[in-house]
């Protein structure tokens, strides 16, 4: 019996010791797990906050070994308090089991649900929290930042997925923000043969229908330089996609009856910290597009343009717009790194059918308000930061086989002449020629001649960019006789030009014509 009691005491003692040991072990393991979990979370936060101006934070974190980290309620907040990202769940997958006080290696990032908020400052036009996005003090060399947060040391990215995001854009005007639901991105990442710190990228992003972005290229995570083999953005504008635009833009787009499909393809090197120094080629194609205003429209069957950008200069050697059963040829350049961003362009109009610009078809048996073949050419120079204030250029336009009763003031002058036949009936025999210069004050018409067959007119003056008119026009039946008589007609013209002039003022929409006797228009 005595031996049994001794054995029992020993067993109980051993049980107590074992229990204490187990409790201590579990407690120590739990403490270690908690410390490791917190360390990994701090490490993720430190990586983001080292490189970006906005600050990453989270509500709770879970660590599922061997290497899954779940951050719930993750936010990215700018120094001014703007919440740029508000994510339901951010899942980070590591390449290996993490260890305390050693760099973590991130293989995958998945964001599931949440919102992206793009809030624009109405005063500056900048996006709050995004300008600047990358900290200016961060150097490009890996050795110049702590080893535990150097991107090329901690990232082993393979995949990035964004699912079911809500994009909100607020332009700062006080209008209701634009909201796009269901935005997604799928990005495959792998080490690139281009060298250390480079990763190959394949990205499919957007919201169908209406907007897609496909990218094939590489990205350097230390220098923030993208080498794009191809980046294609497709935008479809129609009744089913207009609702994704800002409310004020929706109203404008609907009023213009705007629609069309645009594809923009970009290839080359893009330093994200200095995008104006990119070395890229951009191809633009627009199909089946249309804009309209009032009684008129501009249908664009096809627009094709190529822009080459290097050394801070964007050159567009050629662009062709197929519209109004004719074509418009364009070329130009922009100095992106010079003050004001100077822009210059040349244009040529090739037999545009003006009748096609009418928004609705002319009833059968009636003559259209406007018709004819329009040709012309010219050039323009301006500044991207002050387009009107720095405007200059010149041009000329010509119309043949037309009807031009919509020219500002022509109908009113015909009424004052008192000759109903001056409109030329329903014949398509009107013609016009004009030369002009461009200035901050508007389009200065240096010479113009309009002939309706029985009425001739010539004029000079200014057409404001806001539609305001300030023209002085000579017109009447004698003008036709002057044209027919040649040199003698010129003599008659010099006399008659001094007898009757018409001042055309008001606006293009509502011109006001008055007679200036004896040439005194003042």
Q: How far apart are CA 383 and CA 400, in angstroms?
A: 34
Split the chain (522 residues) into runs of 10 and give each run's mean pLDDT: 40 38 38 74 81 85 86 87 88 82 80 86 74 61 62 72 84 73 84 83 81 89 88 84 67 81 92 85 93 88 94 94 96 93 96 91 79 95 92 96 79 65 62 94 92 81 92 72 50 47 87 71 46
Q: Which domain does 237 fall in, by range?
A: 208-293
User: What is the DSSP code (8-state) at residue 176?
Assistant: P
Beta bridge partners of 476: 456
Considering Cα of 239, then 241, then 243, then 245, what sign does the dihedral take? negative
Query: What is the predicted pLDDT for the residue at 84?
Result: 86
* CA-based R_g, the chain, Å: 35
**396 lies in the same domain as 262:** no
The pLDDT value recorded for residue 315 is 96
Q: Looking at 243-369, which runs of residues are DSSP E strands?
A: 259-271, 279-293, 296-310, 313-323, 326-335, 342-353
From 265, 293, 321, the end of a domain falls on: 293
In a domain, 317, yes or no: no
- Identify whether residues 178 and 117 lie together within a single domain: yes
Same domain, 64 and 143: yes
Asked if residue 266 and residue 124 are part of one domain, the reply reads no
What are the tokens at 4?
């049994």
Q: Which residue in this structure is represented by tokens 């705007």?
A: 258
Answer yes or no: do 133 and 225 share one domain: no
The pairing of strands 155-170 and 106-119 is parallel
Q: Are 152 and 197 contacting, i.e. CB atoms less than 8 angstroms apart?
A: yes
Whole-model pTM above 0.95?
A: no
Co-location of 410 and 511 in the same domain: yes
- How many helices (H) does the chain have, and how many strands (E)? 6, 24
Return the ∠ at Cα 308 (arms to 304 and 314), rounded to 5°: 105
Residue 303 lies in a domain: no
* Angle ∠(282,216,280) on CA atoms, nearest 5: 25
Domain ends where: 191, 222, 250? 191
Local structure of residue 440 (DSSP, 8 states): T
Residue at 459 is within a domain = yes
Give the pLDDT score at 106: 81
Residue 335 in domain: no
Q: Which two tokens mark 280?
A: 């890229």
Q: Are 437 and 394 in contact (CB under 8 A)?
A: yes
Give strand ranges (E) for 78-150.
Answer: 83-94, 106-119
Q: Report how far residue 456's alpha carbon sits from residue 119's, in angstroms, rounded to the nearest whole number.
A: 56
Structure tokens at 30: 């739990």
Q: How far is residue 90's CA from residue 74's CA, in Å, rounded to a whole number?
A: 7
Q: What secondary structure letter does DSSP report for 493?
A: H
HSE-CB of 355 using CA atoms within 13 angstroms: 14
Residues 134 and 72 both lie in one domain: yes
What the block records as the tokens of 457 is 């007119």
- Shared domain check, 287 and 222: yes
**8 Å CB contact between 218 and 200:** yes
Q: Which residues, at least 6 apart from 254, have a Cβ–Cβ distance to it below 8 Å?
A: 242
In this structure, are residues 201 and 158 in contact, taking their beta carbons and an 8 Å threshold? no
Residues 50 and 183 grouped into a single domain: yes
In terms of domains, do 142 and 231 share one? Answer: no
Q: Which pLDDT score is estimated for 501?
A: 83
348 within a domain of the structure (yes/no): no
For residue 496, CA distances in Å to 205, 463, 491, 519 come to 69, 25, 9, 10
Q: Which residues, at least 6 apart from 235, have a Cβ–Cβ distance to it below 8 Å?
A: 210, 211, 261, 262, 263, 264
Phi, psi of 483 (to 5 degrees): -65, -35
- Judgement on whether residues 105 and 169 belong to the same structural domain of the protein: yes
Q: Is residue 370 part of a domain?
A: no
Contact status, residue 165 vs residue 115, Cβ threshold 8 Å: yes
Residue with tokens 């393809």: 265
361-to-101, 258, 292, 427, 442 alpha-carbon distances in Å: 76, 18, 14, 18, 32
**C-beta neighbour count of 232 within 10 angstroms:** 16
Give the model's pLDDT for residue 8: 37
User: Can you tell me the distance from the alpha carbon of 168 to that of 387, in angstroms, rounded to the nearest whole number?
Assistant: 30
Torsion of CA 385, 390, 394, 396, to 10 degrees: 60
- E strands, 65-210, in order: 68-77, 83-94, 106-119, 155-170, 178-191, 198-207
Nearest residue to 103 (alpha-carbon basis) of 94, 91, 93? 94
Number of domains in the chain: 3
- Is residue 501 within 8 Å of 474, Cβ to Cβ? yes
* Residue 453 forms part of a structural domain: yes
Tell me the CA distances in angstroms from 354 to 120, 329, 402, 463, 496, one per residue in order: 40, 17, 8, 20, 32
Same domain, yes or no, for 141 and 239? no
| Domain presence at residue 368 | no
pLDDT value of residue 39: 80
Q: Of 238, 263, 293, which residue is a domain's last?
A: 293
Sort residue 154 into left (φ over 0), alpha (ψ -120 to 50) or beta. Answer: alpha
Q: Which uninterrupted H or E stretch holds 35?
A: helix 2-51
């Amino acid at each position: 019996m005595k031996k049994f009691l001794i054995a029992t005491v020993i067993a109980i003692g051993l049980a107590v010791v074992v229990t204490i040991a187990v409790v201590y072990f579990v407690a120590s393991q739990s403490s270690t797990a908690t410390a490791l979990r917190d360390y990994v979370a701090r490490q993720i936060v430190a990586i983001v906050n080292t490189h970006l101006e906005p600050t990453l934070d989270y509500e709770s974190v879970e660590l599922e070994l061997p290497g899954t980290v779940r951050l719930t309620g993750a936010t990215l907040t700018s120094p001014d308090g703007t919440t740029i990202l508000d994510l339901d769940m951010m899942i980070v997958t590591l390449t290996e089991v993490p260890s305390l006080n050693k760099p973590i290696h991130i293989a995958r990032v998945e964001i599931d649900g949440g919102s992206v908020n793009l809030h624009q400052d109405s005063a500056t036009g900048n996006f709050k929290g995004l300008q600047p996005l990358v900290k200016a003090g961060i150097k490009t060399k890996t050795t110049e930042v702590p080893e535990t947060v150097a991107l090329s040391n901690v990232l082993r990215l393979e995949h990035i997925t964004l699912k079911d995001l809500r994009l909100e854009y607020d332009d700062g005007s006080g209008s209701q923000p634009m909201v796009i639901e269901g935005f997604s991105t799928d990005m495959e990442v792998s080490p690139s043969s281009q060298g250390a710190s480079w990763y190959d990228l394949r990205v499919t992003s957007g919201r169908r229908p209406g907007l897609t972005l496909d990218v094939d290229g590489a990205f350097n995570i230390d220098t923030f330089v993208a080498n794009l083999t191809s980046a294609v953005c497709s935008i479809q504008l129609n009744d089913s996609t207009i609702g994704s635009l800002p409310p004020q833009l929706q109203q404008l787009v609907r009023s213009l009856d705007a629609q069309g499909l645009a594809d923009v393809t970009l290839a080359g090197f893009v330093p994200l910290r200095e995008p104006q120094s990119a070395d890229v080629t951009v191809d633009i194609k627009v199909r089946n597009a249309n804009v309209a205003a009032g009684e008129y429209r501009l249908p664009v069957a096809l627009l094709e343009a190529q822009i080459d950008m290097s050394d801070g200069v964007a050159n567009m050697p050629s662009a062709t717009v197929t519209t109004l059963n004719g074509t418009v040829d364009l070329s130009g350049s922009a100095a992106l790194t010079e003050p004001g961003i100077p822009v210059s362009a040349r244009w040529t109009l090739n037999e545009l059918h003006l009748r096609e610009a009418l928004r609705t078809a002319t009833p059968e048996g009636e003559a259209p308000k406007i018709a004819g073949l329009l040709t012309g050419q010219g050039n323009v120079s301006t500044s991207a930061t002050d387009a009107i204030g720095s405007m200059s250029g010149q041009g000329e336009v010509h119309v043949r086989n037309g009807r031009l009763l919509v020219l500002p003031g022509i109908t009113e002058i015909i009424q004052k002449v008192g000759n109903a036949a001056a409109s030329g009936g329903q014949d398509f025999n009107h013609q016009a020629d004009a030369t002009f210069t461009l200035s901050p004050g508007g389009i200065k018409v240096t010479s113009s001649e309009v002939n309706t067959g029985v009425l001739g007119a010539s004029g000079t003056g200014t057409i404001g960019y806001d539609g305001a008119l300030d023209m002085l026009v000579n017109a009447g039946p004698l003008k036709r006789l002057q044209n027919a008589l040649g040199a003698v007609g010129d003599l008659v013209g010099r006399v008659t030009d001094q007898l009757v002039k018409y001042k055309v003022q008001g606006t293009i929409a509502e011109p006001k014509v008055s007679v200036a006797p004896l040439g005194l228009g003042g």
